Every structure is written in C-alpha cells, then in structure tokens.
Amino acid sequence: MIQNSLREFDADPMIVRQTFAQFPSGVAALAADIDGAKHALVASSFMVGVSLEPCLVAVAVQKASVTWEQISKAGRLGVSIFGKGQGGLTRQLAHKDRAARFEQVAIEVSDDGAVFIDGAALWLDCSISAVSEAGDHWMVLLEAHRLGAGENEPLVWHGSTFRELASPPAVDAA
C-alpha cells in the first residue's frame, strides 16, 4: 500500500532530505564575474519552463548562501547545466572553500559578466526577474535573454549522487 510508505516528518528533517533526494534533476551552476572575482552557486533545484514568453526559469537558493548575497547583485548570471563527466567539477564549484571553486575550470565570460562553464549540456544568459521568500530558501525567477545547447548530455542528480542518462529503451525509441 502506498500509504504505508508515507511518513510524518515534523521531528526529522532528514526524512524530507532523503525523500527529496529520490527526485531526479539536472544540476546548474549560476555564475557571475563581479569586479574580476568569479562566483558560482551550484543548484539542483533549478527548473526550466516556468514561462516561455517571457522566458523564465527558477531556482531555490538557501537563505544562508553567502554566494547568493554576491551574485544577486550581478546584472547578468550565466547558468550552465552540467554535462556527462562533470560530477567532480560540480562538487568543486560547490566547495565550501569559495576561493578554490574556479581553480583550473575552463570558462567563458560575457561582456556583461555572465560566467559559462565549458563542456556543459546547455547554457542560459539570465537576469534576476523576481525573488520571493519560500521558507528557508529564496525562490528566484530568472529571465533568460540568450540560450543554447552544447554537444554534451546532461548530468543527473539522484539519490545524492551523479548519474548519466542511459539509452532509451527500445519501446520509447521509435
């Protein structure tokens, strides 16, 4: 029975974390160059398709994020969706030692200071459209002004680990 698997979680936030971890997602880096310093925030809560016209995407950012305080002042944010083989890079860009995040990372920086990660699956050049409170996070709406896909397949975050897409089963391939 489904309901036998449903648990109350008031007293234990780990139940929420573990259950949410079963939801597969892509992983994004929101990155900006501010006065020559590069900042990146890695987020698995990123989602596309909030709106097509205007082109809006969303991300939930912990209120405790130091990096958000910095990049929320940027005029443009580069969003890179990590690709196959970039699990190590994802962890590096989320490292608590912020100074080490961009060591040896191949990037491109736009004239507006949006930072894009080489080898990602897709990129969006965004500005911040709206920020609202959502419990212990900020719900951030981003407007994409330019976007494009690369050659690499996306990385998948699931069960607190990185996975790669498998070929579609024969029944779905047609």
Ligand X SMILES: Cc1cc2nc3c(=O)[nH]c(=O)nc-3n(C[C@H](O)[C@H](O)[C@H](O)COP(=O)(O)O)c2cc1C
Q: What is the binding site for ligand X (CB under 6 A)?
A: 27, 41-45, 60-62, 65-68, 90-91, 94, 98, 157
Query: What is the closest distance, in whole angstroms, from the C-beta atom of residue 105 to ligand X in the complex?
Result: 14
* Residue 131 · residue 73 · CB < 8 Å: no
- As a whole number of angstroms, the distance between CA 41 and CA 80 comes to 11
Per-residue tokens: 84: 């196959």
- Nearer Cβ to ligand X, position 2 or 135? 135
Q: Distance between terminal CA atoms of the chain?
A: 34
- Nearer Cβ to ligand X, position 53 or 133? 133
* Residue 57 · residue 128 · CB < 8 Å: no
Query: What is the closest distance, in whole angstroms, from the C-beta atom of residue 170 to ligand X in the complex?
Result: 31
Query: What is the closest distance, in whole angstroms, from the C-beta atom of residue 60 to ligand X in the complex?
Result: 6
Query: What is the closest distance, in whole angstroms, from the C-beta atom of residue 10 to ligand X in the complex?
Result: 23
Residues 6+ positions from 166 with CB-CB distance below 8 Å: none
- Nearer Cβ to ligand X, position 44 or 80? 44
Identify the residue whose tokens are 């994004």.
28
- Nearer Cβ to ligand X, position 102 or 157? 157
